[in-house]
Structure 1
Amino acid sequence: MLISLFRLVTLPYVQQNGLRTGLTILGVALGVAVFVAIRVTNLSTLHAFAEMVDAVSGRTQLQVVGEIAGIDEALYPRVRSMPGLLAAVPVVTGYAVAEEKDGEVLFVQGIDVLLDRSVRDYRIGHSGAPHTDPLALLFDPSTLFVSETFARRHGLSVGASLALLTPHGRDAFMIRGFMAADGPATALGGNFAVMDIGAAQLAFQKAGKLDRIDVVPQAGIAVEAMQEALQARLGPEVKVQRPSFRNATVEKMLQSFQVNLTALSMIALFVGMFLIYNTLSSAVVERRKDIGILRAVGANRTAIASVFLTEGLAMGVMGTLLGIALGLALSRLTLHIVSQTLVSLFLLVAIQKLMISPGIIISALALGLLASLVSAAIPVREAIRVPPVDALALAQYQTKPYRSWARLFIPWILWLAVGYLLARLPAIAGVPLFGYLSAFSLLCGFSLLMPAAILGLTWALRPLLFRLFRVEGDVAGENLQSALTRSSVAAASLMTGVAMVVSVAIMIFSFKRTVYTWVDQTVKGDLIVTAAAPSSGVATVHLPESLARGLGEVDGVWEVDALRSLSIPYQGRQIILNVGDLDVFGRHTEYPFIAGWPAEVFAEVVSHDSVIVSENFHNRFGVGYGDTLTLPTPEGPRWFRIAGVSLDYSSDQGTVVMHWGIFRRYWTERVVDSVGVFLKPGANLAAVAAEIRRRYGGTHRLFLFSNQAFKQEIYQLVDQSFVITYALEVIAITVGIMGIATALYTSVLERQREISVLRALGAFRGQVRKIIMLESGLLGLLGVGVGTLCGGCLSLILIYVINRQSFGWTLRFAFPTGTILVNLSLILLFALAAGVWPAQQAAKVRLTETLRME
């Protein structure tokens, strides 16, 4: 019976209203597409890193690593002599810049030529080697192999010279062969090279150090047992772990970033739910007569409900399937945008393949179908409550007026109260779950406020509407009130999109204003010298500490502050250790502290084993001013007193700041990432920069920035991190405007008799168009007005709950008046334009056909 009813009732209607049904399906599809694209991007990112780890690990089952600054090579014999080992292979790794090849970054692996094949396979081609093993060519420290991918891209040949920039400086290496694009040679998108381990130690200034030892147990020996035995043999100074452990570390590091993107992506789907509601509601209105006939000939309420529920599910299924396809296409764009942000802020990884898991498809289907069912519930309820006698009557369908305004505010107040209580709850495992639920409660509350807002606005503007637009303005206001439910849903869909735009705009502006102020307070060097531009990605090439000292001897230079940033483990997470000359830093900057007096803090950290921690470190780990902090060092765990807590926005992982003098007691590495150069009064900036290039430009690739230019690089990096959110906003607003167009068209269908009566009484087509356009403008005004209020409240949750629980930062609230006014004006204009199509349809209503049966 259901199939027959669907064929007789639904299919003809869909054929007659294909455009509106198509818009609804498209709205759902856009919401699902954004969700799928973000999920695919997140999965592809993690898979790309895992693939890189697997590629360079080969058959390795365990790795001996130093938690801090590598491991001493003197430890290798103790590992090699461990009973039950099939292979133990030392490895040194680093990143080098191929300066003459578009500045591309190469991942370089220094290997023991005699041992490495026991854990990794290299297919060497075009080496011209008479040796049985082409790797033997690497005994020459000035040679290397590169991947075929890299060689093809840059037209390299065997015997060619390749200049690489490393912490040692600018060195030329001869290419002795190419590695086929499989196994290790696929790392970093094929930007991979191998050289002798001794040459790598020299190039990356790791004399006497190894980055890891790759271990393969003998057959029959359990990996877990070998891991425990090796750990006991080597002691706590090193860590024995599976290669996949690094994947879990990266997943933790990216967790907040990826979860927030997923949450934002679901707002577009939430807006799409309003479209399904409007479309099914209009279907119920248009087919009241059909419903009456079916009920009169014996169809029960269950059959009627099944028809409309199936219709809603069908739109949901088609929208979801289309959304999955669109999402896979959209993911290529989001992958490009997100990968740029990840490389700039978190880690160097080449994301080349889209990864699609059954879980993503299943979750997208579940969300799409659930959204369809929830959206269809109220229209289905309307359909089954239509009395047959009323449905067969030709009188206009009227919505029951609300008698009590106070009752309209009760749901809004309840949802706001729920949202407030949820916002007070803590994060779960670092994820602000209750913060997201609080934001959802806020959106629900303001959506339920729309009936009261429509009644209030039309009542307040009624005199003005009549004065400006005469009877057309009066009729437009009355129409919105008579179809209050439908009008409310249309305005709520736009309101949700506007709230997203406003809240995210406030959050981004607050973040930028806060970070820009912090940068102005902390970046004070007249000249900044680095091995790479800040916006080019995470630091991969370092400068020798000797160069930093040499900069201090250049004529016109007063003093220098060298900075080094390291990622170190702390309580199962990675944090950032920033090392600098805090004596110089303290004299020149206005470093903002939330605990501790600046003069006292800098005096203590320079002369004692004390550090400064960032506010987000304090919030994440619950330690603060005066507490003792245990940090892992190459010399073992060491205790440091926290001399101060500062505002620091350089990393979302948490930051510890240490003086060079303290760092040198426990760490042996002597490289820096950047150098702040402070000039003597009257010194010429251009002359000093020219002298630095003359002295060091021949051996190192240097980027020299003036203070303002360096800040602009940082600002560009901040802007780049928010590109993806702008795309999500556009999609949410698009779906919201589609909702207004659909709702107005439904309103026209409901009021065909009324429009015909107006025409019969002398109204012109232009007046009918004006009425519909005024309704569109009023709905747009409501959506923008309430959406702005909702967005302002939502921004407080984003800034003080979600952001604080995700990243641990406190942002200063700032309202971007100009940006929001421009955005809202454009949205209002588009909302008004959404009424053009329904207005045209209203003007085409045929007078004689509509009134024929009166």
Structure 2
Amino acid sequence: MTALLRLVTLPYLRQNPLRVALTILGVACGVAVFVAIRVTNLSTLHAFTETVDAVSGRTQLQVVGEVAGLDQSLYARVRSMPGLAAAVPVVTGYAVAEAYDGELLFVLGVDVLLDRQVRDYRFIASQDNDREALRALFDPATVFLSDTFARRHGLGLGDPLSLLTPRGRHAYTIRGLLAPDGPAKALGGNFIVMDLAAAQLAFQKAGKLDRIDLILQPGVTATAMQEALHARLGDGVKVERPSFRTATVEKMLQSFQVNLTALSMIALFVGMFLIYNTLSSAVVERRRDIAILRAVGAKRAAVGALFLMEGLIIGIIGTGLGIPLGLGLSRLTLYIVSQTLVSIFLVVAIERLMISPGIVLSAVTIGIMASIVSVIIPTREATGVQPVDGLALAQYQVKPRRNWRPLFVPGVIWLSVGCVLSRLQPVGDVPLFGYLSAFSLLCGFSLLMPAAIVGFSWLLRAWLFRLFRAEGEVAADNLQSALSRSSVAAASLMTGVAMVVSVAIMISSFKRTVNTWVDQTVKADLIVSAADPTSGITTVPLAESLARALTEIAGVSEVDALRVLSLQFQGRQITLNVGDLDVFGRHTEYPFLEGEPGTVFAEVTSHDSVIVSENFRNRFGLGRGDTLILPTPEGPRRFRIAGVSLDYSSDQGTVVMHWGVFRRYWTERVVDSVGVFLRPGASPEAVATEIRRRFGSAHRLFIFSNQTFKAEIYQLIDQSFVITYALEVIAVAIGILGIANALYTAVLERQREISVLRALGAFRHQVRKIIMLESGLLGVLGVAVGTLCGNCLSLILIYVINRQSFGWTLRFDFPGWTIAANLTVIFLAALAAGVWPASQASKVRLIEKLRME
């Protein structure tokens, strides 16, 4: 085998460097996209885990409230529990350093005398020794800042630091700088320590704790302590390991990350066509070589192994290049994905790439397996070459023709399987059968491509002759005479086009649905918030008293304050939206799926009733008239579902509650944003100016008009799909490489045919025209069939994968102009892919190729 590789394979590869390079590049791009997405997913979770671990220190268990933190009086009951070595009360939150690009800092409020039992702080600089420095935190205006943040902004000991918190704008003094290890690594070094009481004041959490960190005495198991604390503390309190938060976030991000991984696999799927096309062409080109090998005694198995090794060599080289290329690409995807995560899911600082042996192993496995699958048919063709046929020059040119009928029935079967799979339920939270259904459709349309080429060529043959004379007719015949090669090239482009079309329809449907919902629900004339909507998660809430004070401003009719909380419900994270539903109901056109608006709003404002979103209903099977049990600071409470609405504010499921109901069971008094409704004739600009004048000195307020706020939301939606656009471009690029590869191969295979045409009087420009027409026909076919396939895939994306992943129902919307523009660019790129092969075809030397005639 080694001798055959050296004497047969390597010379062939050296003679066709461009074609081999294109194939390797296609495989490398597919593997690179897969690696980039996997590295991005791992880096995201690692960054969050690192922050949790850094802040947790030596904590073995944490006591947390089901919602809205813990009552501080519980601390004494926890501390007196036998078997505990330490119990440390903690308050956490996020503050904005307004003077330093509005950067977000993670604030840890602790009892400084107790906290050293759980966390280690190493001071780079302080005005006293470490112990005395910690005692200095008793001053509510003192903070310790991470040296990382201080160096970045030129801050030092004794410098003032203005922070924005729910309390408002307040100045602190830096009394110590923390080395970038331990807790100070949290949020990429954007970390502050302050006294527990100062943190409670800053975050409007008087008498409240976020958690209690516990260390156990030797010999005490975590499970036993959990059970004992549950028995002592009762309902409304959870005792969990620090790692539980990471598991919760991982589950929350699962659908988002699985969808990205599935999209990345399409690029590799397109790359498989390149390998198939290259080796299929190699079989045709080297029929004579294969026949000679068989004539001198080589067995079929040896020939098959030779081509299998060629495919493996291409796959291994492509995979080897794809892994480092993927690491480079991951820097871009990491930036894009991190922006999306912060906008939608959680606050996280992703500083470095994380790559594990598992990612490398999976990339190698997938790359090589894709190569093996791609070479099965070419290898089978190679082993079927008979010495007599292979040595007959007359049959050399007609072998590429393939009958479309044998692939037609399997194609229909694959399409049927895809339809059946689309009706199956998800596996856990993963729409596994939805992805398999999409893959089945791609396979089905790919297998139907030979039939499409034959039918397309037959339909256009007369028109091609009228428009382009003999060159058009020859181009149509050439596609059919090498059906296996041309169909694979068209199928590779078709797959990329299908991805573009299906995702474009899905994105347009999502945007139209959400935009309609926003128009129906966001009716306030002004929206006041302490956070920029483009930063995503609201991390700095406002005092409820500020919302009430807004009603005293001239021109303000009424306000609707919104508070967004995260709750655990049946082991999942859900969103609780609290608002003044009396005001909200009068001003909006909130879309209900179950219940009449007037009846629903009357019930939720006067009883312990709530509204749930459509995806909440779909996830948990609870609808109008059912009862759900929500965790509250007063313990679990029952709430009747008054209605089911369309709500796209959270992909985890949303519960909407009236402020009057909320205040019965919750004690916190902060809001995230305030919708301001103006009196007729009032000037929004004048009211906004007055709000800034009254409250701007104490708070950093973002005040948006209705249209500006909606524009910010639409921008966030566009941002969340940036990574999808990048994956589309790569998939289409690989498909266009397939056309260039196929046409270049066609030129090499048909040099004798081209020479005959030249000898019969064809000019060079006519030869170039034939190749360019073939390129154009392949482009038209790929775009046409890809558009049809993309429309079918979009139905799976919208009504199967999206619904099973997020529980939403989207309104189908076909973005005609967007798709037309994209397809025009793709077609022109496919046409351009024929320029180099056409140029090479026009340079074929007649005498050399016809010397045997």
Asked whether the two chains share a fold, i.e. TM above 0.5, the reply is: yes
Does the 8 Å contact 2:47/2:351 carry over to 1? yes
CA contact (8 A) 2:143 2:172 kept: yes
Match of 1:765 in 2: 764
Q: CA deviation at 1:52?
A: 0.3
Gapped runs of 5+ residues in structure 1?
Answer: none
Counterpart residue number, 1:615: 614
* Cα shift readout 1:346-398 (whole Å, capped 9, x = no counterpart): 00010112111111111111110111011001111111111111111222331
Give the equivalent residue in structure 2 for 1:345: 344
Q: Which residue does the alignment assign to 1:738?
A: 737
The residue that corresponds to 1:850 in the other structure is 849
Aligned partner letter, 1:9: V
1:268 counterpart = 2:267: yes
Per-residue displacement from partner, 1:60-119 (whole Å, max 9, x unpaired)? 001011110001111111111111111111101111111111111111010101100001
* Matching of residues 423-502 of structure 1 within 5 Å: 423-502=422-501
Please say if residues 34 and 265 of structure 1, whose CA atoms lie closer than 8 Å, have aligned partners that are also in contact. Answer: yes
Hey, what does 1:699 align to over in structure 2? 698
CA distance, structure 2, for counterparts of residue 839 and residue 165 of structure 1: 65
Give 1:630 shift.
0.7
Show the counterpart of 2:504.
505
Aligned to 1:574: 573
2:681 is matched with which residue? 682
Alignment of 1:6-25 (within 5 A): 6-25=5-24
Structure 2 partner of 1:631: 630
Q: CA deviation at 1:838?
A: 1.2
- Is 1:290 the equivalent of 2:296? no
Q: Say if 1:533 and 1:713, in contact at 8 Å, map to a contact too.
A: no
Offset of 1:322 from its aligned partner? 0.7
Q: Deviations over 1:649-694 (max 9, x none)?
A: 0110000000000000000000000000000001111111111111
Secondary structure, counterpart of 2:531 in structure 1: coil
CA distance in 1, matches of 2:513, 2:169: 38
Supply the AA of the counterpart residue of 1:644.
G
Deviation at 1:223, TM superposition (A): 2.1
Deviation at 1:415, TM superposition (A): 1.1
Give me the whole-angstrom Cα distance separating, in 2, the residues matched to 1:467 and 1:611. Answer: 69
The aligned residue for residue 100 of structure 2 is 101
Note the C-alpha offset of 1:130: 5.5
Partner residue of 1:144?
Answer: 143
Shift of residue 231 of structure 1? Answer: 2.0
Query: Is the Cα contact below 8 Å between 1:53 and 1:243 reproduced in 2?
Result: yes
Q: Deviations over 1:26-84 (max 9, x none)?
A: 10000000000000100111111111000000000010111100011111111111111
Equivalent residue number for residue 252 of structure 2: 253
**Number of the residue aligned with 1:656:** 655
Deviation at 1:474, TM superposition (A): 0.7
**Structure 2 residue aligned with 1:134:** 133
Partner of 2:398: 398
Q: Map 1:40-439 to 2 at 5 A.
A: 40-129=39-128, 132-395=131-394, 396-399=396-399, 408-439=407-438
User: How far is 1:472 from its partner?
Assistant: 0.5
Give secondary structure in 2 for the equivalent of 1:828: helix
2 CA distance for matches of 1:384 and 1:397? 18
Q: 1:24 to 1:130 in 2, by over 3 A?
A: closer
Match of 2:101, SS state, is coil
**Pairwise CA distance, 1:412:** 2.4
What letter matches 1:112 in structure 2?
D
- C-alpha separation in 2, matches of 1:11 and 1:444: 32
**Distance of 2:40 and 2:125 partners within structure 1:** 37
Deviation at residue 133 of structure 1 after TM alignment: 3.4
Paired AA for residue 108 in structure 2: Q
Tell me, in whole angstroms, the C-alpha distance in 2 between the residues paired with 1:179 and 1:338.
30
In 2, Cα distance between the equivalents of 1:468 and 1:44? 56
CA contact (8 A) 1:60 1:214 kept: yes
CA contact (8 A) 1:179 1:185 kept: yes
Give TM-score, length-normalised by structure 2: 0.99
Q: What is the CA deviation profile of residues 747-769 of structure 1, one whole-angstrom value per residue up to 9, with x for unaligned ones?
A: 22222221111111111111111
Structure 1 runs of 4+ aligned residues shifted over 6 Å read none
Of 798-807 and 394-403, the range deviating more from structure 2: 394-403
**Alpha-carbon deviation of 1:407?**
5.5
Using the TM superposition, name which of 54-63 and 741-750 deviates more.
741-750
Tell me how far 1:408 sits from its aligned partner. Answer: 5.0
Equivalents in 2 of 1:312, 1:237: separation in Å?
A: 61
Equivalent position SS for 1:133: helix
Alpha-carbon distance in structure 2 between the residues aligned to 1:425 and 1:19: 45
Contact kept? 1:399, 1:484, Cα under 8 Å: no
Amino acid at match of 2:325: L
Specify the code of the residue in structure 1 equivalent to 2:206: A
Contact 1:605–1:611 (Cα < 8 Å) also in 2:
yes
CA distance in 1, matches of 2:755, 2:474: 14
CA displacement 1:412-444 (0-9 Å, x = unmatched) = 221111001000000111100000000000000
Q: Is the Cα contact below 8 Å between 2:493 and 2:779 reproduced in 1? A: yes
The separation in 1 between residues aligned to 2:522 and 2:211, in whole angstroms, is 36
Q: Structure 1 vs Structure 2: percent identity of aligned residues?
A: 76
Deviations 1:141-198 (A, max 9, x none): 1101000001111111111111111111111111101000000000001000000000
| Alpha-carbon contact 2:69-2:208 (below 8 Å) kept | yes
CA drift of 1:232 comes to 1.9
Give the Cα–Cα distance (whole angstroms) in 2 for the partners of residues 676 and 760 of structure 1.
80
Partner of 2:544: 545
Q: Structure 2 stretches of 5 or more lacking a match?
A: none
Q: What is the letter of the counterpart of residue 235 of structure 1?
A: G
1:553: Cα distance to partner?
1.1
Q: SS of the counterpart of 1:470?
A: helix
Q: Is the 8 A contact 2:123 2:130 kept in 1?
A: no
Equivalent residue number for residue 591 of structure 1: 590
Q: For residues 480 and 700 of structure 1, what CA distance do their matches in structure 2 show?
A: 69
3-state SS of paired residue (2:73): helix
CA contact (8 A) 1:79 1:88 kept: yes
User: Could you say which residue in structure 2 is the equivalent of 1:715?
Assistant: 714
In structure 2, C-alpha distance between the alignment counterparts of 1:522 and 1:429, rounded to whole Å: 32
Q: Separation in 2 of the partners of 1:302 and 1:789?
A: 41
For residues 125 and 447 of structure 1, the distance between their equivalents in structure 2, rounded to whole angstroms, comes to 63
* Cα distance in 1, alignment partners of residues 606 and 399 from structure 2: 78
Amino acid at match of 1:397: Q
Give, in whole Å, the separation in 1 of the partners of 2:228 and 2:683.
62
Report the AA paired with residue 691 of structure 2.
I
Relative distance call for 1:549 and 1:605 in structure 2 (3 A) is same
Name the count of aligned residue pairs: 852
Distance 1:761 1:494 in 2: 34
Structure 1 residue aligned with 2:777: 778
Q: Distance in 2 between matches of 1:130 and 1:721?
A: 48
Q: Distance in 2 between matches of 1:83 and 1:820?
A: 67
Cα distance in 2 for residues equivalent to 1:130 and 1:613: 55
Greater Cα offset, 277-286 or 30-39 = 277-286
What SS does structure 2 have at the residue aligned with 1:538?
A: coil
CA deviation digits over 1:307-366, x for unaligned, max 9? 110000010011011111101111111101000000010000101121111111111111
- Separation (CA, whole Å) in 1 of partners of 2:406 and 2:213: 69
**Contact 1:60 1:216 (8 Å CA) reproduced:** yes
Per-residue deviation, residues 247-290 of structure 1 (Å, max 9, x unmatched): 00000110100000000000000000000011111211221111
